């Protein structure tokens, strides 16, 4: 068999066996129990929640991210093995949601790590979540879910954005921006 | 001579492949059964194969050094080795070359390799999980050791193949009153061996993040999961060999290949039944704490086992 | 020739002591002295009926030696049993010395001199053919050990060794006196025994005296203190080598001097003498108690000391059962224990040499820093726990088989559970010292220390593949006792119950590992440091000051469950006896006040009584 056939087979297999790690930051995590248990039962698609990022394929960011939390999120994301996918859950990860004017939450998750698929809503219903995962599976099958490749390619930029978010003094931000110029 | 060796190597590799295949199938069946008990649809029964394939197809793999890698090597290698020393459906691959004591110690090889890897990761969760796993081992080993010793003395052989041969013509050990109770004791111990609830203390995903498995991922986790899956087959086969005559119903000398076929089907059904009992208990129970498990095995289970020992003892004296 | 060898070793001991100022030179001299017993024992191999090649005959030695000093004759003679134990001691001894060349720095001459003297004493014990020379050499060995224990400057260790050593000497002396009064001769071969109570009491006294050296419960109390406070090379030799002398003496007196027929005449239980059964039961108890206490320890040396107690219990089980299987098992366990326990104590010494720490909870992550030490420890632990990757399993297997053959329903589960307990404390050593978070930036141990450890591990691997060779080694002993050697080929052992084929196990393991390798090399990998660990997303740099090493109170739930049962241990029992002795002593103290005036009054009263008695008479 050729290399392409192998990777095609691997994609077909891995879409049916997505192990996820929830990064439960906000209220969105409340919607996960119905998805996991008998009402909507996500395990019929081979999806189960794992305890650690080492074992997981999907990072589920459920809700708003304070700057302090982002540090942990990046740590978790970098500990996952490729190929890995990120699902942004709820409006908070898209544009800050109801925390749009907060001083210490980040507004756009995709600035800090590549997000493969967003689920809009405050909060999204379990049906929406399952729909998103089916979409993600479709994308994996077609080879479109390439966020992890993007992270390797634009690693410097992502790191810069993360550093900007973590720095809390103006001169630090300035240093980073000046560093870009040089 | 050479042909014989080549044939036996082929048979053994085939059996190991079959063991791994059945192990992966059992994983899917267990998840399906638990899902049905929870009133869910559940994953397809072939989910185990998909999971293992996916884990081995991960693009990057992270190791913590060469001691960490020993886990992947020794767990798969050791469990395959253990399987070869079991009589499976009356086919004794290498079981004439060792006995039950050897099997009890061979099971420790993959466990020790796994423990080395877990320790080498340097994660405190792994260390705590390993501590619990070893204490569980100490806990369930006492009742099962008592029952096994009673059986060895009763059948006057320490060879597992010998015990299976003694139970031929459907004279299963479970039909003898002390060993009927012994089978119950051993089944409780099996629950701990398989790390099903209420004895899944070493893994405990919600407390210590799957314990020893915490740092494993990709091909390393794949190896460990293969070991766990094969482990279910090995442990249930051990139980079936001890108490249910190893699944041998037809004499091979009399019926030829047909007997092999029937025996394999009966063996498969029996290990499935034994495994499903464990899975069903698993589906409805919460988790013990480790000292509760130790007390359960050493107080109640071992007490019943001691009763069996006295029963056999009185018989031996006569 | 034999006397010359003793004298040469004594002179070399004096030379080593004289070279006190130059520890390394003194050590090298001692190392050459320590090779003499090994060459001697190999040279003797043909005399006891083993087919060793001719070129291994380094010395032409007489088989026996009678040395008359007027009032009594000292008789020394090589016997198969003595030869076997001499082989064990003579192979462990040079390794301990090789290790100490770099390890011992302070007052080295005294250390080496005492070590050689203890070896001379052991050689004498193993060759002795009469009670007098046996007892004399036993005391030489015991007192040179005391000299080595004194070097620890630890009051508790010295006092416990001294008191138990004296207790042991008293018990042995009492037993010897009873034997002499019963038979009227000192020579073993001339003793004809009657199966009466005096012999039983004498034998019980002797065996309990030897149990002190063999650290059987309840005579084990001194061992943890001495093992944990003395220098490691000495402890390695004490635990690995000298403790076997107790078991040698037990076999000698039970099966050679008194004889199996006399033992059986005191009553049998399933064809095993009640005396032997009791010893086997005490052995099983020792194995269990030693194991449980080992699991509870945090000090590396104390853990090894208790595990040593537990492992030695297995030898007592084999000696007690006394069938060919059991005897082979006991001797095999003695051999394994000599090598793996010496290696483990030496490794503990190497770890201390590099890090300066004994506590398991303070060590960690040395596996990547000291890989060769780690591998030696790993193999030693395989042997200790009975994993079938070293010869440790074969010994335990023989003992299990022997117990099942005699239908011992209660001893076998205790042995099995002690075997599982060994996994627990083995993993405590592996994780606490060598795995986990690296906390010490140290180098690998020095070459001489590594060489000593690896040479000790080597026999464990050789006898894994060829357990039949070991059975060949012991068959002269079994023949000597009139037992049939067990049936074997180089790599299989067959009993009436089952067979064990080491070649099949090894080939199957290699096959399994090939399969695992194929899976393992399917994908590339990268190595990350331990700081890149899943800690619920916490960045590790925030926790630099917090230890990630979970080795402190490792088996806490286990301790909680078992502590109530072991709160009142054997030590408290001995303390109660000590208290009783103290009260007696206080009574005596009332007379011996230490004041000169009182004594003069006693003398006066005595004279007055004398005078009065004379007057009346």
Q: Which domain holds residue C594?
A: 568-616
**C534 and chain A: CB distance < 8 Å anywhere?**
yes
pLDDT at B276: 92
Q: Measured between alpha carbons, how far is A71 from C537 in angstroms, rounded to an integer?
A: 8
Which residues on chain C are in Cβ contact (under 8 Å) with B100? Answer: 498
Is the per-residue pLDDT at C375 higher than 60?
A: yes
B318 falls in which pLDDT band (50, 70, 90)?
very low
pLDDT at A170: 67
Which residues on chain C are in Cβ contact (under 8 Å) with B313? Answer: 409-410
Which residues on chain A are in Cβ contact (under 8 Å) with C536? Answer: 72
Is the per-residue pLDDT at C20 higher than 60?
A: yes
pLDDT at C541: 66
**C424 and chain B: CB distance < 8 Å anywhere?**
yes
B29 falls in which pLDDT band (50, 70, 90)?
very high
Q: Which residues of B touch chain A, with CB atoms under 8 Å apart?
A: 31, 35, 38-44, 47, 50-51, 53-54, 57-62, 205-206, 209-210, 213-218, 221
Claim to verify: residue C576 and residue C515 sit in the same structural domain: no
pLDDT at B275: 92
Closest residue in chain A to residue C540, using alpha carbons only? A75
Alpha helices by DSSP H, listed for chain B, are 2-37, 47-56, 66-84, 100-106, 108-120, 124-155, 160-166, 177-193, 205-208, 218-243, 252-255, 257-284, 290-295, 302-317
Q: Measured between alpha carbons, how far is C313 from C414 in angstroms, rounded to an integer?
A: 11
Is the per-residue pLDDT at B317 higher than 60?
A: no
A65 falls in which pLDDT band (50, 70, 90)?
confident
Instruction: Confirm whether B289 is domain-assigned.
Output: yes
pLDDT at B26: 92
Instruction: Confirm whether C560 is domain-assigned.
Output: no
Instruction: Confirm whether B35 is domain-assigned.
Output: no
Average pLDDT over residues A26-30: 77
pLDDT at A1: 62
pLDDT at B273: 92
Q: Which of A143-147, B64-68, B106-110, C186-190 has the highest mean pLDDT?
A: B106-110
B294 falls in which pLDDT band (50, 70, 90)?
confident
Q: Please, which chains are in contact with A (at least 3 CB pairs closer than 8 A)? A: B, C
Average pLDDT over residues C223-250: 88
Is the per-residue pLDDT at C560 higher than 70?
A: yes
Tokens of C230: 């003395």
Q: Measured between alpha carbons, how far is C532 from C535 in angstroms, rounded to an integer?
A: 9
Domain count, chain C: 2
Instruction: Confirm whether B86 is domain-assigned.
Output: yes
| Alpha-carbon distance values, C490 to C36, C45, C508, C510 (Å) | 29, 19, 18, 19
Which residues on chain C are in Cβ contact (under 8 Å) with A52? Answer: 534
Claim to verify: residue C594 and residue C507 sit in the same structural domain: no
Instruction: Confirm whether B98 is domain-assigned.
Output: yes
pLDDT at B279: 92
Pairing of β C499-501 and β C492-494: antiparallel
Claim to verify: residue C411 and residue C339 sit in the same structural domain: yes
Q: Which of B58-62, C282-286, C407-411 has the highest mean pLDDT?
A: C282-286
Strands of the A58-62 sheet, one edge to the other: A48-49, A19-23, A58-62, A85-89, A117-119
pLDDT at B175: 83
Using an 8 Å Cβ cutoff, are A180 and A164 in contact? no
Claim to verify: residue C577 and residue C482 sit in the same structural domain: no
Q: State pLDDT tens for residues A91-142.
A: 888 888 888 888 888 888 888 889 988 888 888 888 888 899 899 988 888 8
Residue B10 vs residue A178, higher pLDDT: B10
Q: Please, which chains are in contact with B (at least 3 CB pairs closer than 8 A)? A: A, C
Least confident range from A27-36, A105-114, C32-41, C70-79: namely: C70-79
Q: Which of B59, B94, B146 sits opposite C413 (nearest CB)?
A: B146
Pairing of β C487-489 and β C272-273: unpaired
Residues near C484 by beta carbon (within 8 Å), at least 6 away in sequence? C324, C478
Q: Measured between alpha carbons, how far is A74 from A169 in angstroms, rounded to an integer?
A: 21
pLDDT at B233: 92
Q: State pLDDT tens for residues C61-90.
A: 777 777 777 667 778 888 888 888 998 999
Q: Which of B138, B146, B312 sits opposite C424 (nearest CB)?
A: B138
Residue C43 vs residue C50, higher pLDDT: C43
Tokens of A126: 């379990």
Q: How far does C546 lie from chain A, in Å, by closest CA?
A: 18
Average pLDDT over residues B87-115: 84
CATH, residue A137: 3.40.50.12280
Q: What is the CA radius of gyration of chain A?
A: 17
Instruction: Confirm whether C300 is domain-assigned.
Output: yes
Which residues on chain A are in Cβ contact (under 8 Å) with C532? Answer: 79
Domain count, chain A: 1
Which residues on chain B are in Cβ contact (under 8 Å) with A33? Answer: none
Q: State pLDDT tens for residues C426-468.
A: 998 888 888 877 777 888 888 888 888 899 898 888 888 888 8
Average pLDDT over residues C525-546: 72
* CB within 8 Å: C386 and B218: no
Average pLDDT over residues B24-35: 91
Interface test with A, best of B30, B34, B43, B200 (most A CBs within 10 A): B43
B272 falls in which pLDDT band (50, 70, 90)?
very high
Average pLDDT over residues C352-370: 85
Q: Which residues numbered 41-100 in A keep a CB inside 8 Å of some CB on C?
A: 52-54, 71-73, 75-76, 79
Instruction: Confirm whether B10 is domain-assigned.
Output: no
Instruction: Confirm whether C141 is domain-assigned.
Output: no
Residues near C35 by beta carbon (within 8 Å), at least 6 away in sequence? C94
pLDDT at C78: 84
Domain count, chain B: 1
Q: Which domain holds residue B143?
A: 60-317
Average pLDDT over residues B59-85: 85
Is the per-residue pLDDT at A181 higher than 60?
A: no
* CB within 8 Å: B39 and A52: no
Q: State pLDDT tens for residues C139-151.
A: 888 888 888 888 8
Residues near B287 by beta carbon (within 8 Å), at least 6 away in sequence? B197, B198, B199, B200, B201, B204
Q: What is the mean pLDDT of chain C?
A: 84
C545 falls in which pLDDT band (50, 70, 90)?
low
Instruction: Confirm whether B47 is domain-assigned.
Output: no
Instruction: Confirm whether C466 is domain-assigned.
Output: yes
Average pLDDT over residues A130-156: 87
Is the per-residue pLDDT at C539 higher than 70?
A: no
Q: What is the mean pLDDT of chain B?
A: 86
pLDDT over 70 percentage in chain C: 97
Interior CA angle at C496 toward C491 and C499, to 5°? 30
Region for A63 from its dihedrals, namely left if φ exceeds 0, alpha if ψ lies in -120 to 50, beta otherwise: left
């Amino acid at each position: 068999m050729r290399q392409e056939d192998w990777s095609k087979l691997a994609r077909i297999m891995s879409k049916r066996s997505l192990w996820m790690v929830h990064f439960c930051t906000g209220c969105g995590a409340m919607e996960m129990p119905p998805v996991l248990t008998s009402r909507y039962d996500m395990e019929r698609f081979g999806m189960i929640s794992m305890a650690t990022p080492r074992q997981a394929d999907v990072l589920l960011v459920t809700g708003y991210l304070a700057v302090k939390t982002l540090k942990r999120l990046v740590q978790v994301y970098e500990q996952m093995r490729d190929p890995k996918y990120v699902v942004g859950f709820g409006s908070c990860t898209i544009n800050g949601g109801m925390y749009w004017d907060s001083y210490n939450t980040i507004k756009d998750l995709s600035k800090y790590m590549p997000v493969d698929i967003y689920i809009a809503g405050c909060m999204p219903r379990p049906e929406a979540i399952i729909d998103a995962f089916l979409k993600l599976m479709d994308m994996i099958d077609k080879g479109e879910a390439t966020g992890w490749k993007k992270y390797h390619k634009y690693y410097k930029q992502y790191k810069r954005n993360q550093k900007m978010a973590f720095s809390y003094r103006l001169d630090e931000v300035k240093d980073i921006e000046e560093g870009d110029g040089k | 001579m050479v042909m014989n060796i080549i044939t036996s190597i082929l048979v053994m590799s085939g059996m190991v492949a079959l063991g791994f295949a059945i192990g992966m199938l059992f994983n899917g069946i267990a998840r399906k059964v638990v899902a049905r008990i929870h009133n869910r649809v559940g994953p397809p029964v072939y989910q185990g194969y998909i999971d293992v394939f996916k884990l081995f197809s991960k693009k990057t793999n992270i190791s913590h050094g060469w001691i960490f890698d020993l886990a992947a090597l020794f767990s798969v290698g050791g469990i395959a080795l253990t399987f070869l020393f079991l009589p499976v459906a009356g086919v004794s691959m290498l079981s004439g070359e060792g006995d039950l004591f050897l099997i009890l110690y061979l099971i420790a090889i993959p466990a020790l390799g796994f423990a080395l890897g877990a320790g080498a990761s340097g994660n405190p969760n792994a260390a705590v999980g390993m501590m619990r796993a070893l204490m569980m081992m100490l806990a369930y080993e006492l009742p099962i050791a008592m029952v096994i010793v009673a059986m060895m003395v009763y059948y006057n052989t320490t060879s597992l193949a010998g015990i299976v041969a003694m139970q031929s013509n459907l004279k299963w050990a479970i039909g003898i009153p002390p060993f009927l109770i012994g089978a119950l004791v051993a089944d409780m111990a099996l629950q701990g061996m398989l790390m099903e609830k209420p004895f899944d203390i070493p893994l405990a995903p919600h407390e210590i993040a799957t314990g020893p498995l915490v740092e494993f991922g990709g091909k390393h986790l794949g190896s460990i999961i293969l070991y766990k899956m094969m482990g279910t087959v090995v442990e249930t086969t051990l139980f079936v060999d001890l108490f249910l005559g190893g699944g041998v119903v037809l004499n091979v000398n009399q019926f030829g290949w047909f007997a092999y076929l029937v025996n394999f089907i009966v063996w498969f059904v029996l290990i499935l039944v034994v495994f499903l009992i464990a899975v069903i208990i698993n589906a409805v129970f919460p988790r013990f704490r480790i000292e509760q498990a130790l007390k359960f095995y050493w107080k109640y289970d071992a007490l019943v086992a001691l009763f069996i020992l006295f029963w056999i003892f009185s018989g031996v004296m006569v | 020739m034999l006397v010359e060898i003793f004298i040469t070793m004594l002179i070399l001991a004096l030379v080593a002591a004289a070279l006190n100022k130059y520890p390394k030179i003194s050590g090298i001299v001692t190392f050459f002295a320590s090779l003499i017993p090994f060459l001697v024992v190999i040279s003797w191999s043909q005399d006891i009926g083993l087919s060793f090649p001719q070129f291994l005959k380094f010395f032409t030695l007489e088989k026996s030696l009678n040395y008359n000093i007027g009032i009594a004759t000292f008789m020394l003679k090589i016997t198969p049993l003595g030869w076997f134990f001499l082989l064990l001691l003579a192979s462990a001894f040079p390794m301990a010395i090789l290790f100490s060349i770099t390890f011992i720095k302070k007052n080295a001459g005294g250390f080496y001199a005492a070590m050689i003297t203890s070896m001379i004493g052991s050689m004498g014990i193993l060759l002795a053919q009469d009670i007098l020379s046996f007892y004399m050499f036993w005391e030489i060995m015991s007192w040179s050990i005391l000299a080595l224990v004194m070097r620890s400057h630890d009051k508790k260790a010295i006092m416990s060794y001294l008191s138990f050593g004296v207790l042991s000497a008293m018990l042995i002396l009492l037993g010897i006196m009873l034997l002499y009064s019963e038979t009227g001769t000192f020579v073993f071969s001339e003793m004809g025994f009657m199966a009466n109570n005096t012999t039983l009491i004498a034998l019980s006294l002797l065996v309990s005296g030897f149990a002190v050296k063999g650290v059987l419960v309840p005579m084990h109390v001194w061992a943890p203190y001495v093992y944990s406070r003395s220098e490691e090379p000495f402890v390695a030799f004490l635990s690995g080598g000298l403790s076997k002398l107790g078991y040698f003496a037990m076999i000698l007196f039970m099966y050679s001097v008194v004889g199996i027929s006399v033992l059986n005449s005191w009553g049998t239980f399933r064809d095993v003498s009640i005396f032997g059964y009791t010893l086997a039961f005490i052995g099983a108890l020792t194995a269990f108690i030693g194991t449980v206490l080992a699991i509870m320890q945090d000090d590396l040396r104390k853990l090894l000391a208790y595990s040593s107690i537990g492992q030695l219990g297995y030898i007592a089980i084999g000696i007690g059962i006394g069938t060919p299987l059991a005897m082979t098992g006991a001797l095999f366990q003695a051999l394994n224990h000599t090598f793996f326990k010496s290696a483990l104590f030496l490794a503990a010494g190497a770890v201390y040499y590099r890090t300066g720490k004994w506590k398991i909870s303070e060590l960690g992550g040395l596996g990547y820093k000291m890989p060769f030490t780690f591998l030696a420890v790993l193999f030693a632990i395989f042997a200790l726990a009975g994993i079938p990757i070293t010869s440790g399993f074969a010994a335990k297997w023989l003992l299990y088989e022997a117990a099942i053959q005699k239908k011992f329903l209660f001893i076998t589960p205790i042995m099995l559970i002690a075997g599982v307990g060994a996994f627990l404390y083995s993993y405590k050593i592996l994780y606490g010292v060598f795995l986990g978070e690296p906390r010490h930036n140290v180098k690998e141990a020095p070459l001489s220390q590594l060489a000593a450890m690896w040479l000790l591990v080597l026999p464990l691997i050789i006898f894994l593949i060829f357990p039949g060779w070991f059975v060949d080694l012991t068959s002269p002993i079994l023949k000597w006792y009139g037992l049939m050697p067990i049936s074997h080929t180089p790599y299989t052992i067959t009993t009436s119950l089952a067979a064990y084929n080491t070649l099949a196990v090894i080939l199957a393991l290699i096959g399994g590992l090939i399969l695992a390798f194929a899976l393992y090399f399917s994908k590339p990998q990268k190595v990350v440091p331990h700081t890149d660990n899943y800690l619920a997303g916490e960045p590790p740099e925030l926790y630099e000051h917090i230890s990630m090493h979970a080795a402190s109170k490792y088996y806490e739930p286990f301790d909680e469950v078992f502590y109530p049962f072991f709160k009142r241990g054997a030590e408290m029992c001995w303390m109660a006896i000590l208290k009783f002795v103290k009260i007696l002593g206080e009574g005596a103290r009332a007379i011996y006040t230490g004041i000169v005036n009182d004594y003069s009054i006693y003398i006066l009263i005595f004279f007055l009584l004398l005078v009065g008695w004379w007057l009346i008479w």
